[in-house]
Amino acid sequence: MARLVTKFKYLKPDQEKPIGGYATYIATREGVEKIDESFKLAPATVKQQKLIEKLLRDFPDSATMLEYEDYQREKTVGVASEFITRAIEDNAHEILNQRTYADYIGTRPGAERFGSHGLFTDDGVQVKLKEVSQELNAHQGNVWTLIISLRREDAERLGFNTGIRWRDMLRTQTQALADSLKIPMDHLKWYAAFHNESHHPHIHLLVYSTVENEGFLTKQGVAKMRSSLAKDIFEQDLLCIYEKQTVQRDELRLHSKELIAEIVSRINAGTYDNPKVEEMLLRLADRLSKTKGKKVYGYLKADVKALVDAIVDELAADEKIAALYNLWYEQKEEALQVYTETLPQRVPLSQNKEFKPIKNAVIQEAMGLHADRQDVEEPAQADAPDPEMPEAPESDSQADDPIEPDPPPAFRSYSGGRGRKKDTWWTDEYKAARAFLYGTKTSKPDFEQALAALKKEALRGNGFAMHDLGKMALAELGCEKDEEQAQEWFRKAFSAFCAREPKEEKPGYLRYRIGKMYAFGYGVDQNYLKAAEWYGKSVAEGNPFAAYALGSLYHRGQGVDQDEEKAFDLFTMAATDENKPNAYAQYELGRMCRDGIGTAPDQAASEQWYSRAYQGFLEIEQNMADDKLYYRLGQMNLTGTGTKKDPDQARTYFEKAAELGNADAMYGLGKLYLSRDFSGRDVKKAIDYLMGAAGKDHDYAMYTLGKLFLEGKEIPKNPEYALRWLEEAVEKENPYAEYLLGKTLLQGVNLPQNIPRAVSLLERAVSRNNPYAAYALGKALLEGTVLLQDLPRAMELLAFSADRGFSAAQYLLGKVFSNGELCPKDIPRAIRYLTRAAERDHEYAQYLLGKLYLADEGIPKNAKAALYWFTRAADQGNAFAQYQLGKLFLYGREVEQNMEKAISYLTASAGQGNVYAAQLLHSVHSNRNWSAALGSLRLLQHLARIIQNRIEDERKSGKGGIDRKLKRKIDEKKQAHGLKQG
């Protein structure tokens, strides 16, 4: 039996039975408290039994009351009295005349009062019972009455045991009342009273329109009102039902996926066969070709409609579709059982009005069979997946500071301007100290010995030794890191350089050293302008080291206006010095020629410069064991820059640098040992080296560790460790860590969702020109699911990312402009973005380009271009492009027919699970109509989606949600007013 009982009636104007008396009755019943009620347990009297029989004859719907159900179960005086009272009460207006009715209601117990009476209405409206009664008596239109009854146990459990609770609930139902009765809200009037009966508390409701003859109540209106009341009253119970349906929905999705997989399996094995649907589609196509007028189901002749229905029924006969349809009915019936005992009879899917869209889909499919067009259908998943997390770039934080070179020959013979060798800084003792500091090809650095020897030289006034001591204190070489002590040594060195520079016969080298101290802030405040001035003075003397240093300032725009051409010239001067060609300048020239910076792109020149740089670095290596140099040589071997690619040699150089404490080399080793292309791959060693680099505050090592612990692919997943390392990298302003942590917190996967923090991190990464962060944030703002949709900002961020060469952003913008769902369709603009992504080998951009060139929409059809881009995507293994190529060569409309190529491409696509390719192959091998075979599969999948969407929409509606079309319209209006969507 339904737990919620409702009874709808309407009262016509009647002078003998004024409606106002009914309002007075429900408002003024007085309650009485009875002490001894044991008599109620006695069997029902004969008089009661006869009266009950008469009530059931006169008012058959009384048998649906909860009280009658109780009477059938327990025929006692008390229960019989409850039923008789409710039956008379519910039909009082028809049973009693005005006088006897007034006498009756004056003695009825149980009405809960609000002030002097129990009548209530909308919030803020004062109810004067006498005026209401007079108004109803004078009303010449219909008045609808509604009685809503609950069992006592349900009322107590759900909190509907007071008049206030019922009043508050009814005030939320006024729109539903108006809709169900077809009465405009501003014309609607209602009054109600709560009767707190011991067994079945209930509410009496009077509803009417201020405009006479307005309003009517249909069966659909009754069902709608019952549904609305049940959802409100039994909200908590329904939530339990819908939670169970959520699990069912998840199973449904898996079920639908299995359905498609099973169909594919049957087709590939030659066991799936539905020639009946295909034959009926062909017959329907023939009938439609001879039919005039609209090709819409409602406008077709009866025999054509019957054929459409037959196709739908044949599709519905599939066991998987039948299971989906049954699940839809079960969900619908479970909700209906809350407020009605009689469930509607199930009807065939073709006769169900809620699934009418499938009929027009059948018609459209049939019409397309004979059309001379190239369909470009695809499964829903034919879209690019989210891009992989970017690999952090190779760190070069230490590579832009060249190794301190030997003084030029002119300086080696320096004698203080007076020929006294004892005044030179380039003493045998200093050269020995440098050998300890930098090491040699055959010996490692000995920092302890270097420290002692340099201190002796510094005490003798050697400015070079003072400078080297500052670098050792700064880099923790042979001593603890002490920035204050380092700056003290640098200040002494700077003073010594400045004191000696005016006395120097050829001061170019000292001027270079002074400029470098300004550039790095060693012993003085960092000042790029002064650095450039000193470098310029040195360059004027032909110093190649100063030329490289000044070129670097022009390249970065530090202290001077950025000028890549000027930088290129200065690097060339340094690189081509006949006495001391600068290997670092040669390396920079290789990069600039490769990328066309400051000069025209020249791959041959680039390779030549890189090769010369590599040889130059090898020469430097002969004279010193320097960690930065080893790291640079390792990088060049790893990437094949200036030499052949040699990961093993790269590892050797990285290990040498790592032994000297180089964090970049430790990071490089970590990434190398993680590489699946490296023959010596060793994840444990990789983690050890990354930990070592992170321990030296290497932010990219921290980021990589966080990424590894977050993904759990190479090592066990550990979100706690991941968060720790990513947060440490974020503190060091690493844009990759900001992006990864921001994206993870935004999605709430692996780490708890934290949207404000996520947006903050992504915005910070964007401010550091991170295209991945711009893409992630832009995509979230575009979709409007996790974040409030903001199309202008989304498009701005995606354009920002696309302009920095990120192909995923270029593809997404191309897709948005091509489908016109979120912004006006702009095919030429879509083509531009997609072409940029396609040229970067983005396979889905290549595929979509092919579709657009084939569609003949917004741009002229270009089968040659479509073929080119489909082929590019297919060569990368794109199953959808392979399918389209198979169709092109199979049908031979846009290109010359080639069955061999068609079968080859379709087989490759089907092998990757493309059900359309498999279906088409099956029809070719079965010698049946290709288009009809595809049409039957499309319809089967379309029908499954329709049922699934209907189940999802009704589940959301049951929770107070709305269907997707209405939600989209509401969101559009909210967006127009700047309101939050969702």
Residue 654 neighbours by CB under 8 Å, 6+ apart: 630, 631, 634, 665, 666, 668, 669, 672
The β-bridge relationship of strands 202-209 and 188-195 is: antiparallel
Task: Assign 625 a pLDDT band (cuts: 50, 70, 90).
Answer: confident
**Is 885's pLDDT higher than 70?**
yes
Query: Is 199 strand, coil or helix?
Result: coil
From 208-222, 683-697, 862-876, 905-919, the region with the lowest mean pLDDT? 208-222
Give the pLDDT mean for 840-865. Answer: 92
Give the pLDDT mean for 498-515. Answer: 93
Beta bridge partners of 143: 11
**CA dihedral angle for residue 712, residue 713, residue 714, residue 715, rounded to 10 degrees:** 20
pLDDT for the residue numbered 406: 42
Domain-terminating residue out of 232, 248, 269: 232
**Is 413's pLDDT higher than 50?**
no
pLDDT in tens, 113-143: 455 567 788 766 777 777 878 787 888 888 8
Residue 597 lies in a domain: yes
- Distance between CA atoms of 536 and 149, rounded to whole angstroms? 96
From 467-471, 703-707, 941-945, the region with the lowest mean pLDDT? 941-945
CATH code of 503's domain: 1.25.40.10
Q: Are 594 and 601 contacting, i.e. CB atoms less than 8 angstroms apart?
A: yes
- Distance between CA atoms of 716 and 907, rounded to whole angstroms? 38
Q: Are 823 and 792 contacting, i.e. CB atoms less than 8 angstroms apart?
A: no
Domain-terminating residue out of 597, 625, 653: 625
The first and second tokens of residue 795, run together, are: 């498009």
- Distance between CA atoms of 311 and 815, rounded to whole angstroms? 34
- Distance between CA atoms of 560 and 515, rounded to whole angstroms? 14
Beta bridge partners of 10: 144
Residue 571 neighbours by CB under 8 Å, 6+ apart: 547, 548, 551, 585, 586, 588, 589, 592
Give the pLDDT mean for 22-31. Answer: 58
- Distance between CA atoms of 476 and 471, rounded to whole angstroms? 8
pLDDT for the residue numbered 234: 72
Residues 256 and 227 in one domain: no
- Distance between CA atoms of 645 and 611, rounded to whole angstroms? 12
Q: Look at residues 856, 883, 859, 861 and name the one whose alpha carbon lies nearest to residue 871.
A: 883
The β-bridge relationship of strands 188-195 and 143-150 is: unpaired
pLDDT for the residue numbered 422: 55
**Is 255's pLDDT higher than 70?**
no
pLDDT for the residue numbered 5: 59
Q: Look at residues 116, 23, 5, 13 and name the one whose alpha carbon lies nearest to residue 62.
A: 5
The one-letter code for the residue type at 497 is: F
Domain holding 222, by residue range, is: 4-232
Strands (E) in 70-201, as ranges, are 143-150, 188-195
Residue 495 lies in a domain: yes
* Structural domains in the chain (count): 3
pLDDT for the residue numbered 918: 85
Residues 204 and 298 in one domain: no
From 57-61, 461-465, 890-894, the region with the lowest mean pLDDT? 57-61
pLDDT in tens, 147-168: 888 877 777 777 777 878 888 8
- Report the Cα–Cα distance between both ends of the chain, in Å, rounded: 37
Give the pLDDT mean for 764-793. Answer: 95
Residue 645 lies in a domain: no
Strands (E) in 259-345, as ranges, are none
Going from the C-alpha of 638 to that of each of 390, 631, 665, the distances in angstroms are: 19, 10, 12
Name the burial class of residue 953, with classes exposed (0-12), middle (13-18) and buried (19+) by CB atoms within 10 angstroms of its CB: middle
Residues 305 and 365 in one domain: yes
- Distance between CA atoms of 312 and 321, rounded to whole angstroms? 11
- Distance between CA atoms of 361 and 401, rounded to whole angstroms? 68
Query: Is 5 strand, coil or helix?
Result: strand
**Is 741's pLDDT higher than 90?**
yes
pLDDT for the residue numbered 441: 72
Residues 60 and 191 in one domain: yes
pLDDT for the residue numbered 103: 32
**Is 249's pLDDT higher than 50?**
no
**Is 8's pLDDT higher than 70?**
no
What count of other Cβ atoms lies within 10 Å of the Cβ of residue 262? 13
Q: Are 430 and 465 contacting, i.e. CB atoms less than 8 angstroms apart?
A: yes
Residues 210 and 318 in one domain: no
Residues 546 and 482 in one domain: yes
Half-sphere exposure of 836 (CA within 13 A, CB side): 21
Residue 929 lies in a domain: no
Q: Angle CA(632)–CA(728)–CA(654) in degrees, nearest 5?
A: 20
pLDDT in tens, 466-479: 999 999 999 888 88
pLDDT in tens, 315-325: 888 877 887 78
Name the burial class of residue 945, with classes exposed (0-12), middle (13-18) and buried (19+) by CB atoms within 10 angstroms of its CB: middle
Residue 175 lies in a domain: yes
Chain mean pLDDT for the chain: 82
Higher pLDDT, 390 or 749: 749
pLDDT in tens, 339-357: 566 778 899 989 988 888 8
Residues 439 and 489 in one domain: yes
Residues 267 and 368 in one domain: yes
From 79-83, 208-212, 540-544, the region with the lowest mean pLDDT? 79-83
Dmax over CA atoms of the chain, in Å, equals: 143
pLDDT for the residue numbered 729: 96
Share of the chain above pLDDT 70, in %: 80
Q: Are 161 and 201 contacting, i.e. CB atoms less than 8 angstroms apart?
A: yes
- Distance between CA atoms of 320 and 904, rounded to whole angstroms? 31
pLDDT for the residue numbered 972: 47
User: In 790-818, which positions are buried (b, 16+ CB within 10 angstroms) versus exposed (e)?
Assistant: beeebbebbbbbbeeebbbbbbbbbbbbb
From 311-320, 401-410, 666-675, the region with the lowest mean pLDDT? 401-410
Residues 124 and 255 in one domain: no
Q: Look at residues 26, 10, 8 and name the one whose alpha carbon lies nearest to residue 132.
A: 26
Residues 34 and 167 in one domain: yes
- Distance between CA atoms of 604 and 607, rounded to whole angstroms? 5
Of 145-154, 230-239, 862-871, 947-956, highest mean pLDDT: 862-871
pLDDT for the residue numbered 640: 96
The DSSP H or E segment spanning 157 is: helix 152-158
- Distance between CA atoms of 257 and 247, rounded to whole angstroms? 16
For residue 130, the 8-state DSSP code is H
Give the pLDDT mean for 288-311. Answer: 89
pLDDT for the residue numbered 533: 97
Residues 92 and 146 in one domain: yes
Residue 63 lies in a domain: yes
Q: Look at residues 329, 299, 223 and name the one whose alpha carbon lies nearest to residue 4.
A: 223
Residue 372 lies in a domain: yes
The position carrying tokens 């000292």 is: 510
pLDDT for the residue numbered 101: 30
Give the sheet arrangement for strand 188-195, strand by strand: 4-11, 143-150, 202-209, 188-195
From 93-97, 582-586, 591-595, 978-982, the region with the lowest mean pLDDT? 978-982
Backbone angles phi, psi at 460, to 5 degrees: -85, 0
Q: Look at residues 537, 556, 559, 555 and name the one whose alpha carbon lies nearest to residue 546.
A: 537
Higher pLDDT, 773 or 972: 773
Residue 190 neighbours by CB under 8 Å, 6+ apart: 121, 122, 170, 174, 177, 205, 206, 207, 208
Query: Is 185 strand, coil or helix?
Result: helix
H helical segments located in 74-127: 77-90, 92-95, 98-106
- Distance between CA atoms of 555 and 552, rounded to whole angstroms? 5
Backbone angles phi, psi at 629, to 5 degrees: -65, -45
Residue 117 lies in a domain: yes
pLDDT for the residue numbered 66: 73
Residues 25 and 110 in one domain: yes
From 46-50, 314-318, 814-818, 908-912, the region with the lowest mean pLDDT? 46-50
Domain-terminating residue out of 625, 653, 669: 625
pLDDT for the residue numbered 248: 54
- Distance between CA atoms of 484 and 537, rounded to whole angstroms? 30
Give the pLDDT mean for 953-961. Answer: 58
pLDDT for the residue numbered 950: 80
Q: Look at residues 669, 644, 642 and name the one whose alpha carbon lies nearest to residue 657.
A: 669
- Distance between CA atoms of 725 and 737, rounded to whole angstroms? 9
pLDDT for the residue numbered 32: 30
